[in-house]
Structure 1
């Protein structure tokens, strides 16, 4: 069947549109792991910045360069 101009190709298939699982509790989304990952990434970034800046701070005080 040809598609009419300006119409959508999506048609109602008559399928059930209710949410799957009924009244069951939703599964954990992993938000805790995401927060842990973000904290770890921030720690790595801060460590990398510190690794670059610390030798300059030490050498600026007249101490041995790291």
Structure 2
């Protein structure tokens, strides 16, 4: 049930992008997004740290942006 509601919300959001109501922006850098609709306990932070360490070890510049907690 919740998945169907979430799917409709995402469809509506995507339609707004398609119609030009919302615009996307080019960051000018490669971007990896780690996240989902759940909060806490799904391993997002450890995964982010792991991926960042691999990229840094390869000599890539790494920046981690978060929305923060409250």
What is the TM-score normalised by the length of structure 1? Answer: 0.30
What is the TM-score normalised by the length of structure 2? Answer: 0.29
